[in-house]
Amino acid sequence: MKSKEDVLDAAVKAVKHAKGYTTNVEFSAEDATRSDVDYLCRIFEAVIDAGATTINIPDTVGYAIPEEFGSLIKHIRERVPNIDKACISIHCHNDLGLAVANTLAGIKNGARRVECAINGIGERAGNASLEEIVMALRTRKDFHKCDTNIRTEHIYNTSRLLAHITGVPVQPNKAIVGSNAFAHESGIHQDGVLKEKTTYEIMTPESIGVSQSTLVLGKHSGRHAFRERLKQIGYELSEENLNLAFKRFKKLADKKKTVFDADIEAIIIDEILRIPDTYKLIYLNVISGSVTVPVATVQIEVGGEIVQEAGFGGGPVDATFKAISKITGTESKLVRYSVNSITGGTDALGEVTVRLEENGIQVTGQGADTDIIMASAKAFVNALNRLEYRKKHPIVIQ
């Protein structure tokens, strides 16, 4: 076991050695927040004299409380006589959920370099979240009196890229970059945001690279938000139809937490407008495996006539969609395909959602079946029927 003097001597030697390779040397005092403060100041003074240009003060195990961490930074600034020759850096962990708060307290007391991570990733509970620190400094510049040069409009895409690379998803209620960060469900909040965004948004979604706020429709949503969402997805109903649709929406919202665009479209098209089907799926047979090229044979009723086609693809769903596309002649682009399990067990009922786009028109189709390929075919045909209706009718529907 080394004595304090042995450790100090080793630190000085290490800095001098590093100085022989670069002019920029950072010295980090592991577990600084649980160390003897007087000794910490001694060792910082010594390593700065030895050539360290940055001293790092880490809260290695996320033990500190913001007030005490800020006081530690202030104390070091006041007690280390040559501190002006080095940049104070901080590195906070999130074991108590205080990494960002501690980092901001450190900045307030003189730290000018921050070690952090996109999405707050890191060992154990993670590190201080870069996006939260950056936007806290930007949003409350009046309090912190400092900012970064980070181009914040790239924050959201960077977060998504990292989640894709690591396979670690961002939790929906994560500050700044979570899918719910700019989502509003409360009827009062939705009405306020629609009239004046700053009522319930302290920063704009555009500032981090998100195109717009999301009004999450649920049982607390009001008519104003519902009407606004209808306009966003391309429908403007008469008062009579709006009342019918809103009544049906509230009934559905009582059964499920969140009502999606696809649900609203189903209410409007299938219940309020009751459009006829252009295409009706009659038959589907798929052959697929590890040693065969996937092929799908599909029969669809079009205008009272049954048409059959086969399609090859990279997988059974791809082959099915290609066969359906041959029959319908669709030029639409598949922009979304998702599968969810409605029930549990090996015989689970699967729900497929597809979103198609053609000439600026976007529609969503859904299908459910214990056979996920059949569910996919149902969803695709359902979307094509909605697309045909939207192509034949104006967007504004009275």
Residue 352's CATH number? 3.30.160.270
Among candidate residues 272, 287, 316, the one where a domain is terminated: 272
Domain span including residue 35: 4-166
The whole-chain average pLDDT of the chain stands at: 84
Same domain, 143 and 198: no
Q: What is the pLDDT of residue 363?
A: 84
Same domain, 159 and 143: yes
How many Å apart are CA 398 and CA 394, to the nearest integer? 10
Q: What is the pLDDT of residue 218?
A: 61
Is position 347 within any domain? yes
Is position 181 within any domain? no
Among candidate residues 207, 238, 272, the one where a domain is terminated: 272
Q: What is the pLDDT of residue 157?
A: 79
Same domain, 208 and 70: no
Is position 65 within any domain? yes
Is position 250 within any domain? yes
DSSP type of residue 83 = G
Same domain, 25 and 153: yes
Q: What is the pLDDT of residue 348?
A: 58
Is position 179 within any domain? no
Q: What is the pLDDT of residue 194?
A: 47
Same domain, 141 and 287: no
Q: What are phi and psi of 357, to 5 degrees?
A: -135, 135
Q: What are phi and psi of 281, to 5 degrees?
A: -75, 125
Burial class (CB in 10 A: 0-12, 13-18, 19+), 398: exposed
Same domain, 34 and 140: yes
Tell me the C-alpha to C-alpha distance, in Å, between residue 219 and each of 227, 323, 348. Answer: 15, 40, 27
Same domain, 38 and 127: yes
Is position 382 within any domain? yes
Q: What is the pTM of this model?
A: 0.55
> Beta strands 305-312 and 292-302: pairing type?
antiparallel
Residue (of 57, 62, 8) closest to 30 by Cα position: 57
Q: What is the pLDDT of residue 190?
A: 47
Same domain, 202 and 344: no
Per-residue pLDDT of the chain (398 residues; tens, 9 = 90+): 889 999 999 999 999 999 999 999 999 999 999 999 999 999 999 999 999 999 999 999 999 999 999 999 999 999 999 999 999 999 999 999 999 999 999 999 999 999 999 999 998 999 999 999 998 998 898 898 888 888 888 888 788 788 867 767 787 778 888 766 655 444 544 455 445 555 545 566 776 676 554 555 666 667 777 777 777 666 777 888 888 888 887 777 776 666 666 567 667 766 666 667 899 999 999 999 988 999 999 999 998 899 999 999 999 999 999 999 999 999 999 998 988 765 555 555 678 889 899 988 888 888 878 889 999 999 999 899 988 887 776 544 43
Counted domains in the chain? 3
Is position 176 within any domain? no
Among candidate residues 211, 239, 272, the one where a domain is terminated: 272
Same domain, 288 and 313: yes
Q: What is the pLDDT of residue 185?
A: 46
Q: What is the pLDDT of residue 156?
A: 80
Q: What is the pLDDT of residue 8?
A: 94
Same domain, 24 and 57: yes
Is position 398 within any domain? no
Same domain, 265 and 290: no
Same domain, 144 and 193: no
In this structure, which long-range contacts are made by residues 269-278, counting pairs with CB atoms below 8 Å and at least 24 apart in sequence?
269/386, 269/389, 271/245, 272/237, 272/241, 272/244, 272/245, 272/248, 273/389, 273/397, 275/385, 275/386, 275/389, 277/385, 278/302, 278/303, 278/384, 278/385, 278/388, 278/389
